[in-house]
Chain A
Amino acid sequence: MLPFLMQMRLDDATEEYTELIKKIVKGIENLSRLREEDIEIGVTPKEAVYREEKLTLYHFQSTVQKQLRTPVLIVYALVNRPFMVDLQEDRSLVANLLKLGLDIYLIDWGYPTRADRWLTLDDYINGYINNCVDFIRKKHDLDKINLLGICQGGTFSLCYSAIYPEKVKNLIVMVTPVDFQISDSLLYMRGGCTLGAEALDIDLMVDCLGNIPGDFLNFEFLMLKPRQLGIQKYLDFPEIMHSEDKLLNFLRMEKWIFDSPDQAGEAYRQFLKDFYQANKLIKGEVTIGDKQVNLGNIRMPVLNLYAEKDHLVPPRSSIALERYIGTTDYTVRSFPVGHIGIYVSSKVQRDLPPIIANWLSAREQ
């Protein structure tokens, strides 16, 4: 039994070091050829069909004949850009759903500025989402459409579906936080799920900063696994940079991670206080504008998709949904990946889109 330091020989290490240098040299060659446009994300052709202030509603161009009459509106989180669902040609949830004949719309929230610091959840849910839904309903001459909410966008979709059940035919939520009282989740604990303002005084923070800088949130997410996300992955970088494909994947992901819009102050205040700190959603105590959110009103079919290794939205937080909604048509599916893996893992991208398409198809009539 030799200890680690003595298990390794200097000549082995020298060889390893030489190999590494070769990879770095090749990697630098690859890097020098790349330009910003090579790592563009959100690649599937789309058309802006509705705009309201900074919001843009996109309609993706179908590549095959549409199989389902009812379109799907994807509601993404306010945190980070929504193009994680369309990261690159071979890793795109949107492209894969289009191939299966779905008609897809996506809300791009844009980048809030100081002028948007007073936007509330009422504006986002009763305003923007409702206006987008109405636009699509009118365009397709339908009473109801399908909603696909992702992460925080899933929580918004739950609120929306509880307030306007008459406009939602089927609801799909992905990696969506529902129960915020999860004491072994670092993100929830740091957000004050047990301590409230003692962990983070949101009022003070919003009063001080106005909008919450996207970079602050980024860093908070990195601090959930500071060494692995902040250091380790860059130490591993030389190992992948010699491969152009891997390098492009890495850089696209970097671009997505660090392209973080600021959060409108008042909306952030309510989300953190009512959802994270007071856990009001499952208690039926959330009020959006003048409308009470009662999850029991969600009687349309619900598909709940979560990631088993999610360090941002723990599975327990998502699967709690079943206990609070009023539907009798509830399906839950999980994938053995993390929060990001659910969008980008090639295995999940092979399995997930058919699950969504088949589930919707079975409820189309």
Chain B
Amino acid sequence: MQKETNSWSGMAEQVMKTWAEVSTQAWKSWFDLLNLALRNPIADTKPGFESVTERFADNQQLILRLLKLSFHTWQDIFPKIEAGEDWQHSLKNYTQQLRAQIDEFSAGTIKVSQNAAELWQLYIKETQKFSQLWVKAWGVSFGPLSKAAVTGTSQPWIELNNLYWNLLYEETFGSLMQIPWLGPTREFNNKLVGTFDAWTKLYRAGVDYQILLTEIQGKSFEELMRELVSLAEKGEKVKDWRQFQEIWGRIADEVFEKAFCVEDNLKVRGRFLNALNHYRLEQQQLLEIWMKMMNLPLRSEVDEVHKSIYELRKEVKNLKKALAQYEAQATPPTDEEHQSIATSIPKF
């Protein structure tokens, strides 16, 4: 019996690993889908958003750790139920350990979030190449900017300004230098800082959301164990892995549904989605500055054109309808009316 149990333990662990991998893939796909609408039109460049996706997916390892912990608790609980011993204590231990893991994870990320300089470096590192033309400037720039956070002086910002002026503006768009009113540095810096701020909020919101999801996953496993115990107590057998999967699926979704009907949790999700959209909007505006300089059509311009066409099309439709109504109302004059009109015209 012990041998069989061990074999099943191996299989169960494998199932959990697969579950975690599938979940990871599902989340990754979700981020990828969200990313679809903002495709960088420049080949070989990589929007920073993708790195957020990757980090989120990487951190699913935490879930795997929690699942392993859950499984070990499960192994601990069942023999106790069989022996009529106190299994509630083991479940309580599990919950405490789960909280501890989440706290540990949360403390680590919050610590990073509190240090703006670290965040900036992380941002630059993860954003990678927003545009081939800017990468050099960015690479050199994060040093002085980090100093800004530490020293609290404006000097590093000025250095950064100069960097953009020298590297981005002079070197890359040297020919445009002849036109003084094109100077983009100030505008660009403002947008860059705005994007960084949006990214910071996204980073924090992402961590919060991930903590919440992890907690929900842990909770669903806890509920699964309760359900299995309850079934066992009623003498109802779980016949096979398929049935086990069905129970697990049902319980997990019930816990998920309940959790996201709670407003506090919804707010966490909302903050994440809103931060994500805000970041993408900022990123898009940043991209438009560059596209403008390269004389490329902007998305906002295309939208404007579409809006004009839409409004004109609507107006033409309304005019056509109005014309059709007038035509329907206007009946051709009778012969008598014709004659009367003809005689009423004064002759000169």
Return the CB mask of B39-68 against A: 1 if under 8 Å, else 0: 000000000000000000000000000000
Interface residue tally on B, bucketed by range: 35 or more
Residues in A whose Cβ lies below 8 Å from that of B271: 198
A69 to B228, CA, bound (A): 59
Residues in B whose Cβ lies below 8 Å from that of A117: 303, 306
Q: When the two chains form their complex, are residues B37 and A213 in contact, meaning their CB atoms are under 8 A apart?
A: yes
In this assembly, does A7 line the interface, its C-beta being within 8 Å of a C-beta of chain B? Answer: yes
With A198-B267, A227-B256 already in contact, the answer to whether A1 and B261 are too (CB < 8 A) is no
Return the CB mask of A188-216 against B: 1 if under 8 Å, else 0: 01101011011111001101111101011
Q: When the two chains form their complex, are residues A186 and B33 in contact, meaning their CB atoms are under 8 A apart?
A: no
Whose C-beta in chain A lies nearest to the C-beta of B265? A189
Residues in A whose Cβ lies below 8 Å from that of B22: 230-231
Q: Whole-angstrom distance from the CB of B153 to the nearest CB of chain A?
A: 34
Among candidates B19, B36, B238, B314, residue contacting A4 with C-beta atoms closer than 8 Å: B238
With A189-B260, A219-B33 already in contact, the answer to whether A201 and B240 are too (CB < 8 A) is no
In this assembly, does B310 line the interface, its C-beta being within 8 Å of a C-beta of chain A? Answer: yes
- Give the segment of B75-83, B99-107, B113-121, B167-175 that binds chain A: B75-83
Whose C-beta in chain B lies nearest to the C-beta of A212? B37
A225 to B253, CA, bound (A): 5
A204 to B317, CA, bound (A): 30
Q: Whole-angstrom distance from the CB of A269 to the nearest CB of chain B?
A: 13
Among candidates A12, A192, A198, A204, residue contacting B281 with C-beta atoms closer than 8 Å: A204
In this assembly, does A184 line the interface, its C-beta being within 8 Å of a C-beta of chain B? Answer: yes
Residues in A whose Cβ lies below 8 Å from that of B248: 227
Whose C-beta in chain B lies nearest to the C-beta of A225? B253
User: Chain B binding site: helix, strand, loop or mixed by DSSP?
Assistant: helix
In this assembly, does A235 line the interface, its C-beta being within 8 Å of a C-beta of chain B? Answer: yes
In this assembly, does B302 line the interface, its C-beta being within 8 Å of a C-beta of chain A? Answer: yes
Q: When the two chains form their complex, are residues B263 and A3 in contact, meaning their CB atoms are under 8 A apart?
A: no
A198 to B268, CA, bound (A): 9
Residues in B whose Cβ lies below 8 Å from that of A235: 242, 245
A329 to B42, CA, bound (A): 61
Q: Give residues of chain A (226-275) contacting chain B, Cβ–Cβ below 8 Å.
A: 226-228, 230-232, 235-236, 239
Q: When the two chains form their complex, are residues A7 and B238 in contact, meaning their CB atoms are under 8 A apart?
A: yes
Which residues of B line the A interface, CB within 8 A?
Answer: 1, 4-5, 7-9, 11-12, 19, 22-23, 26, 29-30, 33-34, 36-38, 75, 78-79, 81-82, 228, 232-233, 235, 237-242, 244-246, 248-250, 252-253, 256-257, 260-261, 263, 266-267, 269-271, 273-274, 277-278, 280-281, 284, 299, 302-303, 306-307, 309-311, 313-314, 317
